[in-house]
Amino acid sequence: MLITGGSGFIGTNLAHRLLSQGRSVTILDDLSRAGVDQNAIWLQQEFGRKVRIVVGDVRNYDDVRRALKDAEQIFHFAAQVAVTTSMVDPRTDFDINVGGTLNVLEAARTMTTPPPLVYTSTNKVYGGLQDVPLEASGKRYQPVDTKLRESGVSEARSLDFHTPYGCSKGAAEQYVLDYARSFGMSAVVFRMSCIYGPHQFGTEDQGWVAHFLIRAIEGKPITLYGDGMQVRDILFVEDLVDAFLAAQEHMPKISGQAFNIGGGPERTTSLLELVDTIWHLRGQKPRLYFEPSRTGDQRYYVSDTSKFREATGWQPRVCARDGVRRLFDWLVESRRVVTEELAAS
């Protein structure tokens, strides 16, 4: 199994599941994101030679070819993942997200039997959703339209790339879908909402659930951009791993399609509601600062996952409150372990 970006939060959780099942895993990662080197070390300590880590860059075709050797399945996660970074440096964002994806597709296409590929895209391909009428309800926004409120945004929604990040991820996913159509490769696209869970080193720009928890644990204030009533559906990473494996299992039936993947209407939170959840977990309310909304921010996005559920039988199992608690406990424990290791040294 090849996982590009496999030392990242999502890749680490998938690699752990596959390795625990006795499968061999190759990870291609440049280890540039803060914290991912810790994930790589942890996987090697847990599984030894079963995990092969290729330190390389998806922008380098030779690195991709080297990592792809003997792969039977591909999970392509390597990416520039922050909207804010894409606004500062659109060229690098394009080179990684579009050029890197094309390298993976081309390297796979040259193989005698191209491995089936799962690509992780983003809900940002639907744009800002400014045309969706919203109303305030408590500490959150909700769609005025009852059907949208009950079901979420479906794949029938027109694509509307916003920000360089939305453009690069959208272009990359279209390449993936077209390689399935034009070259007969087996490939699917996940348009993902907010994923959270252990081994996530969230920042203000990406991984906001973990970022909020980290700030609260460290006693630091949390900055909310906008009024904090923005709503997202959140999906625990173990449920996402189940979806990845279901996609590969059902690949002959679902290849060439894009699917919205998230927690759905049953697993939603606003930013302010998550702050209240953290308050309950810690017994202390985090300090809040407010800043203007950022470019490309969606006031409301919830995934309609019915298409994938009906195609594969997949169903999320972890509710939002339990998932946030599990991430909170992991973050607290990981900090305790680091402190003990430093004291021992």
Give yes or no for a contact between 245 and 188, defined as CB atoms under 8 angstroms apart: no
Give yes or no for a contact between 299 and 229, defined as CB atoms under 8 angstroms apart: yes
Residues paired with residue 231 on neighbouring β-strands, in sequence order: 270, 300
Three-state SS across 81-103? CCHHHHHHCHHHHHHHHHHHHHH
Q: Does the annotation mark 126 as catalytic? A: no
DSSP, res 284: S
Give the active site residue among 126, 141, 165, 300.
165
Give yes or no for a contact between 127 and 163, defined as CB atoms under 8 angstroms apart: no
Residues paired with residue 276 on neighbouring β-strands, in sequence order: none
Q: How far apart are CA 247 and CA 253, in angstroms?
A: 9
Q: CA torsion sign, 226 to 152 to 281 to 209?
A: negative
Active site residue ranges: 165
